[in-house]
Amino acid sequence: LQVVLGLNGWIWVGMKPKQSGHIQSINFTQTEKGFQEVDQASRQAIALLCACIEALGSSFSEVTIDSMLGVVDAARRRGLEGKDFLIPEVALECANEAREVAAGRKVVNDDDGDEKMAEAS
């Protein structure tokens, strides 16, 4: 996925474009870009990432690559999809968990596929 964090507060999420014909010289760059189909799995990944970014904004958290990935990890541990973030409590729980893990106040181990969470001391 490609994420563009704009200086104007806007955030764009999508698939990284494939470049077919690329001409570049010192004073000129031209790239041919065409539309590409996005499969269902990619659409779900985009929707989940967008929902995670929205959850960060709703919880007044800083939107960074690390914070976005933290919320995505928290959502995946819970087996959530983008549509599940329509419930505000779910979005807030994931954002708060990601913030706790980033701050070192919560340790998450899921090496065996088991979800084991312990409070850090």
How confident is the model over 27-38, as pLDDT tens digits? 665 566 667 788
Residue % of the chain over a pLDDT of 90: 48
* pLDDT for the residue 121: 35
Q: pLDDT band at 56, cuts 50/70/90?
A: very high
Rounded CA separation 111/17 (Å): 34
- CA distances to 21, 28, 31, 34, 54 from 25, rounded to whole Å, are 14, 5, 12, 22, 40
Look at phi and psi of residue 77 and say left if phi exceeds 0, alpha if psi is from -120 to 50, else beta: alpha
Rounded CA separation 11/4 (Å): 6
